[in-house]
Chains A and B, each alone.
Chain A
Amino acid sequence: MKNNIKVQRAIKGITQQVLAEQVGVSRQSIVAIEQGKYVPSTLLALKIAGYFVKGVEEIFELEEGD
């Protein structure tokens, strides 16, 4: 699954640390998600999307083979 969290952060002008604090996880979790090393739970995906005031599918997208 790919995501555009990095782009969303850039638009909003916030760091990974700020996003991590806002959704209640560590910065290394955000790094792992942005790099596609970790697929977040539905709950965390909803929290991230909610923080950017977007729908989950505007941020997360299935890849071929998922």
Chain B
Amino acid sequence: MKSIVLFPNYFKKIGWVLIVAALGIWLCSEILDLDLSFLTLKVPAIYSADYPLTSDPKGGWFVYTTQDMAYTLFSVFFIVGGLLVMFAREQVEDEFIHSVRHSALIWAVSINYLLLLLAFLGLYGPVFIDVVIYNVYSILIIYILRFNYLLRISKKRALVYEE
């Protein structure tokens, strides 16, 4: 039977390490407010906006720009880590697990848009920018939570069910 293409099982561990690293960067920069100026680097950009607040006012297409890379690193680590966790094979990856994946994905997309809809209807002003930022990660987070919850339930069911 044709099965969906997934990463090897050990990619899940790599994914979790990346997620923890991302959370570490977020903790250091947002909560502990540590000096992360060493992460301000000159990097190539496809497009860099030319607006007064940037440390490098010369924007444009295909330019080098000096930017604080903390948020970029957080996002890259979190998204790559999340995708690895999401699409790494289980120890035994069979059609039942595929059905759990399918159900978790539908759940993640539905809940994501329900939350977004509520945010559109109930949140106004600059706070909405936060919603857009959280929305980048929400499908990954909801999928991982739902998938693992469903797996845990089925494992628990298998434990208590008589042979």
Contacts and interface: CB of A to CB of B under 8 A. Distances in A.
Interface of A: 15-17, 24-29, 31-35, 37-38, 40-41, 43-44
Given A38-B99, A41-B1, A25 B161 contact: no
29 contacts: A17-B163, A24-B94, A25-B92, A25-B94, A25-B95, A26-B90, A26-B91, A26-B92, A26-B94, A26-B96, A26-B97, A28-B154, A28-B155, A28-B158, A29-B94, A29-B95, A29-B97, A31-B158, A32-B96, A32-B154, A32-B157, A33-B96, A35-B157, A37-B154, A38-B99, A40-B95, A40-B96, A41-B95, A44-B95
Interface residues of B, number: 15
Contacts of A25: 92, 94-96
Interface centre among A24, A27, A28, A37, by most B CB within 10 Å?
A28
Contacts of B97: 26, 29
Interface of B: 1, 90-92, 94-97, 99, 154-155, 157-158, 161, 163
B163 A15 contact: yes
